[in-house]
Structure 1
Amino acid sequence: MAETNSYEEQRRRQMEENKRKLDELRLHKLSAAVRQAAAKPTPAKLLLPRNPRLDAPTRRSGRIASLPEQPDYRPAKAQRNERAELPSPVPAYATDEERAHAVTKAQELKDRLGSDHPAFIKPLSHGYATKTHHMSIPTHFIQYLPVHDEIMVLVDEMNNQFDVLYSCKPDASHRRPMVSRWRGFAAEHKLADGDCLVFQLIERRKFKVYVVRASSYNTNDH
C-alpha cells in the first residue's frame, strides 16, 4: 500500500514539473515573438517605376546648338486666350428709315416690271436673311403656284440659278406655303436685315429675284 502511494506521489510531482516546463516554454516563445515584431522594419513606400524616356537626357544636334537663339514669334498664351474670349460681332439691324426705303424701292421696281408676270415683294427680317432655311410666300400669291410640292428655281440678276423646294403644306405659324433650301440663296447673296426682295414668276416653276439693299438708303439722296 505504501508503494502505491509513493508511485502516485511521484507521478503527481512529475506531471507538475512537466506543466511548469510547458508554461515556461510558451512564455519564452511569446516573448520571442514580441521581440521579433518590434524589431521588424517598416515596409518601404511603393515607388512608381521611372519612365526611361523622361529620364533620358535630351539630345541636341551640335550644329543646332551652335546657332543663335531664335526669337519666338508666336503670340503669348494670354493674348491667345484674350482673342478666343472676344465676343462675336453683334449683327447689324436696319433702322426704320432703311427698311422703309428698301420697301419703297422694291415696290417701284415691281411696278416697272409690269403685269405680264405676277410678282410680289418680300421684306426680310434678320432671321430670314441670316438664319432660317425656309421662306414664306404671301397667301395672295398661292393662286399662281403649283398645287403639289415641286422643285422650283430662283434666278438672280446675274442669271445664277438656285434650286429650292416649294411645299404646298401650310406652315404651323405662317399658314402659307414655304420655300425650303432658302439658306443657300440668302448666304450666296449676303442678304441682311431690312433688305427687300422682288419675286417675279417668269415660268411655272421659276422665279426671277431682285435684291433691294436696305444699306442703299445711306448712298441715296433723301
Structure 2
Amino acid sequence: MDEANSYEEQRRRQIEQNKRKLDELRVHRLSAAVRQAAAKPMPAKLLMPRNPRLDAPTRRSGRIASLPEQPDYRIRKANGDVKTVSPDPVPAYATDEERAYAVARAEQLKAQLGSDYPTFIKPMSHGTSTKSSKLCIPTHFAQFLPVHDEMMVLVDEVTNKEFAMLCRVNYKHQKRYLIEWRAFSAYHELADGDCLVLQLIERRKFKVYIVRASSYNNNDH
C-alpha cells in the first residue's frame, strides 16, 4: 500500500513539474496563436490586368521603319476583296511537238558529231532548266567520267565561254551529278523542252550544244 502511495505521489510531482515547464515555455500560448491565425480567412488575391497599358503607343524598330515600302502582290477584285498571289512568274512549258522537235534535232546533231568523243543527250524539264542546282548524268555515261569527285569544265560551243563545276559521285547509287548547274542554266536561259548535247572532248571537259524547243515555231513542218 505504501508503494502505491509512493508511486501516485511521484506521478503527481512529475505532472506538476511538466506543467511548470510548459508555462515557462509558453507553449500553450503559441498553440493558441497558431489556431487563431489558421481560423482567419485569407485575403482575396488581387488580380492584375493582363495589359494595364492598352493605350500605350506601339513600338517599332527604327531600322525596320526606315526600310522602303514592300511591293503589294495582291489582286483587288471589283467588290473590294483582296486575293494574294505569288510574285513568281507563271512557268512556261513546252508542247509535245516542241519537245519532240528538240530531241530529234539533238539526235541528228549527235550523229553528225560522230563517235570520236563520248556524247549524250539531256532533255530539259522545267525543274532542271530553272530550279535544280545539279544536273544528273546518265548512268551509262559514268564509265567515261572520273571515279571520284573532280572539277569539270563545260564549254559553250558558240561563245567558247567556260563554266567550272564539280562532278560529284553518289557511290550508293553509282550516279554522277554536275553541281552548281543553275549558273550555267541561268546564263543560257534554258527553258522547258530544250535539249542539250554534251560531248566529252577531254577527260574533264564537256562541249555543250543547245537545241531550243522554241525554234520549232521558226521552222516549216
Q: Tell me the TM-score normalized by structure 2.
A: 0.60
Contact 1:136 1:179 survives alignment (8 Å): yes
**2:122 corresponds to which residue?**
122
Partner of 2:79: none
Q: Hey, what does 1:199 align to over in structure 2?
A: 198
**Counterpart Cα distance in 1 of 2:129 and 2:85:** 24
Q: State the superposition RMSD in angstroms.
A: 3.0
Residue 46 of structure 1 aligns with which residue? none
Residue 160 (structure 2) pairs with residue 159 (structure 1): yes
Question: Counterpart of 1:191 in 2: which secondary structure?
Answer: coil
Alignment correspondent of 2:211: 212
Point out 4+ residue stretches in structure 1 off by more than 4 angstroms: 79-87
Structure 2 contact 73–85 (Cα < 8 Å) conserved: no
Question: Partners of 2:178 and 2:74 in 1: how far apart?
Answer: 42
* Higher Cα radius of gyration: 1
Mapped partners of 2:209, 2:181: distance in 1: 15
Q: Residue 101 of structure 2 aligns with which residue? A: 101
Structure 2 counterpart of 1:190? 189
Asked whether the 8 Å contact 1:155–1:162 carries over to 2, the reply is yes
Higher strand share: 2
Unaligned residue ranges in structure 2 (runs of 5+): 1-71, 77-82
Tell me: CA distance 1:193–1:81, structure 2 relative to 1, closer, same or farther (3 Å): closer
Would you say how many aligned residue pairs link Structure 1 and Structure 2? 149
CA 1:192–1:143 in structure 2 vs 1: closer, same or farther (change >3 Å)?
A: same
Partners of 1:169 and 1:114 in 2: CA distance: 30
CA-CA distance at 1:90 after TM superposition? 1.1
| 1:179 shift after superposition | 1.0
Contact 2:110 2:197 in 1 (8 A): yes
Bigger helix share: 1
Deviation (angstroms), 1:89: 2.6
The residue identity in structure 2 corresponding to 1:126 is H
- Aligned-residue sequence identity (percent) comes to 61
Question: Mapping of 1:1-222 within 5 angstroms?
Answer: 87=86, 88-157=88-157, 158-170=159-171, 176-222=175-221
**Distance in 1 of aligned mates of 2:75 and 2:138:** 47
For the residues of structure 2 that align with 1:128 and 1:145, how far apart are their CA atoms? 21
Aligned letter for 2:186?
A
CA distance in 2, matches of 1:210, 1:139: 20
Deviates more, 1:90-99 or 1:175-184: 175-184
Aligned CA distance change for structure 1 residues 155 and 171 (closer, same or farther; 3 Å): farther
TM-aligned CA deviation for residue 81 of structure 1: 6.3
TM-score (norm 1): 0.60
The 1:80–1:201 alpha-carbon spacing in structure 2 relative to 1, beyond 3 Å, is: closer
Distance 1:185 1:171 in 2: 27
CA displacement at 1:167 relative to structure 2: 1.1
